[in-house]
Amino acid sequence: MSRPAAFGSRLRAMPREVRDTLFLLAVIAWVVAPHAAHLPLWCTGLAAVMLAWRARLAVLGRALPGRWVLGGLLLLTLAATAWTHRTLLGKEAGVTLLVVLVTLKTLELRARRDAFVIFFLGFFLVLTHFLYSQALPVAIAMVVAVWGLLTALVLAHMPVGQPSLRQAAGLAAGLCGLGAPIMVALFLLFPRIAPLWGVPGDGLDARTGLSNRLSLGSVAELALDDSVAMSLRFFGAPPPAEQLYFRGPVLSEFDGRQWRPLSPSIALPGLLRPHTRPDLASGVDYEITLEPTKVAVLPLLELTPAVPTGLPEAWPLRQRADLQWATDRPLDERLRLRSTAYTRFEHGPAEPVAGLRHYVELPAGYNPRTLAWAAQMRRDPRWAQASADTLAQALLDHIRRAGYTYTLSPGVYGDAQGRHAIDEFWLDRREGFCEHFAAAVTVVLRAMDVPARIVTGYQGAERNPVDGYYLVRNSFAHAWVEYWQPERGWVRLDPTAAVAPERIMRHAALRPPPGLLATALDTVTPGLLTQWRHQWQALNTAWNQWVLNHSRSRQLELLRHLGVRSPGWQDLVLVLLGLMVAASAAVVAWAWWNGRQVDPWLATWRRMRAVLGRRGLASSDASTPRELARQARQRWGPAARAVEGVLLEMEALRYAPGAWPALRAATTLRRNPSRTLLRRLRQHVRHLPDA
């Protein structure tokens, strides 16, 4: 016998109370398990010990611990929670206490009343998972958890016998199916009224992505993060890969170690508004879904000159002079926006203005060798009077010829104080990621009196062949340079294209080597992991688009499709109330109709009694088929044998279906075998002798 079959046999052989207790403990463990990543280590360990302890007591039939033991554990939990979280209030402390209370309650699980408390605490604990994440795997796990809790609840309402877990699980699934339409209606129409609506996303501290600070190596860390930063689709032909630049924070101030955005206190005459000159022929319509970020900048496709549609009223968005789309706070929810971008454009003042001098400033005492290298190049007659375009092209040629290497792990640059990192990269080791090249080229350009700055964001996108969406991952984070050229304004310069053109032309981002299992699977079935990955990404994208992104604007759009001209949240309430009234009326009508229905067996039995009554065999509503069979045998003797057989089959149909061969044959022929028995009874009654 296989292990699963043997385990199932042992489970069925257990007393019902033990089996149901073990099942409930397994469901609670399933509900608690995803919280392990957010709980203190002591809480996870204590919950596991208490569940294992309760399972052991159930299997061995031992007595449950007394109130003093439970009270001591509760006091210990309160003290540990207060020590860990410095409070007993708030999300983190509340979830910690709830997990312990649920598992602690299992140690006093004696009556159905205690089980109901565990059920309701378990349902509430399911909801707390969405305080941390609303991702599709979490939702699937919680659906299973709800199904398990409902199964345990059904078992608690089956006091007679030992119903199987399969039977209870099937009934629980049916209950879920009956509740699904209500759930869908509430999801689609329940008004999203802040702050009552809007469960936090994955948590600001857990987010990865762009930053308002850049030091050598910071972007390379993002290359190890394969999570999705945004997804988008194009309405029309998509732009080439080398034109997919998503503009994030623009970094202009350099202190020798870090790059930061331009201080808002610095007045830059002539640079206070964006000067954009898009090439209208390069326009492309696109829709983008942004994941939560750590910065108050939306990384939209360059150049997006107009405010995108679909932005909630609570998110004021403005475009700064450096083309950043800035908000008043970091993005803490998914946003789906639609706009038009122009992949070929010019921006910035075409003539020199005073504010441009800020973009040639460099801190004193840092990277002296690089500054000397730039000064020597500038003294060369070939470059002394060269334009910014010519100098930028010369730097790209230098990167191509001088043996630079594009690598994900260049090591740490600079001395013990973090100084002179650009010197070491540009003149000595020459190994780096995109931010190394962008920072070094910006310093060299500034040293040659060319205004320059660093732009961070994302470059490239990965098309999913399953659903056609383009995914931009955090590993696509990128840094490039902008320099200022008279009559053109700010010009994009991507040094990475000189050392690793495949990164820009085919968005082939550097990735860490695959693990042993992934390598083995790809060797046995090449492309299988990629296919699975695309399928999962398509499913996850659909989840984000149609479930997590079902915002208030989507609700109002749904009402417009239903014919409401100027919908508001009041219209949502009215439609929802109308549906609730209609659903209630339908339930009442069904209950009325169902109450008037007659059991088919009872209806047929009344007709059989009427047939026998016309032959003089009296009966009442309390008469049974076996009793009438006995009366028929007494009245007609052996001639009533066929009638007696039909009546006994009628009894078996009610109380032992499938017991008679003739009944099994009739069941296979007709949906209502009692009618077959009625027809046979009428045939046999005709041949009965007169009394």
d(CA 333, CA 204): 10
The pLDDT value given to residue 390: 93
Q: Please report, to the nearest 10 degrees, the dihedral formed by the alpha carbons of residues 207, 209, 210, 212 taken in order.
A: 20
d(CA 130, CA 141): 11
Confidence of residue 670 (pLDDT cuts 50, 70, 90): very low
- Secondary structure class of 296 (helix, strand, coil): coil
Residue 325 · residue 304 · CB < 8 Å: yes
Please state which of the ranges 286-295, 487-496, 586-595 shows the lowest mean pLDDT: 586-595
Assess whether pLDDT exceeds 60 at residue 506: no
The pLDDT value given to residue 195: 46
Average pLDDT over residues 299-313: 86
- Secondary structure class of 247 (helix, strand, coil): strand
Tokens at 451, concatenated: 């205004």
Taking alpha carbons only, the member of 301, 323, 308, 313 closest to residue 230 is 301
Dihedral (CA of 194, 197, 202, 203) sign: positive
d(CA 478, CA 438): 9
> Which is more confident, 451 or 671?
451
Taking alpha carbons only, the member of 556, 544, 370, 512 closest to residue 446 is 370
d(CA 175, CA 171): 6
DSSP state of 192: -
The answer to whether the pTM exceeds 0.75 is: no
Residue with tokens 């660093």: 454
Residue 473 · residue 229 · CB < 8 Å: yes
Residue range 164-220, pLDDT digits in tens: 788 888 888 888 888 888 888 877 777 765 544 554 444 433 444 688 888 776 666
Average pLDDT over residues 419-448: 90
Residue range 551-564, pLDDT digits in tens: 666 777 777 777 77
d(CA 691, CA 689): 6
The pLDDT value given to residue 525: 58
Assess whether pLDDT exceeds 80 at residue 488: yes
The pLDDT value given to residue 201: 45
Residue range 137-155, pLDDT digits in tens: 888 888 898 898 888 888 8
d(CA 250, CA 517): 40
The pLDDT value given to residue 539: 78
The pLDDT value given to residue 449: 92
Residue 183 · residue 139 · CB < 8 Å: no
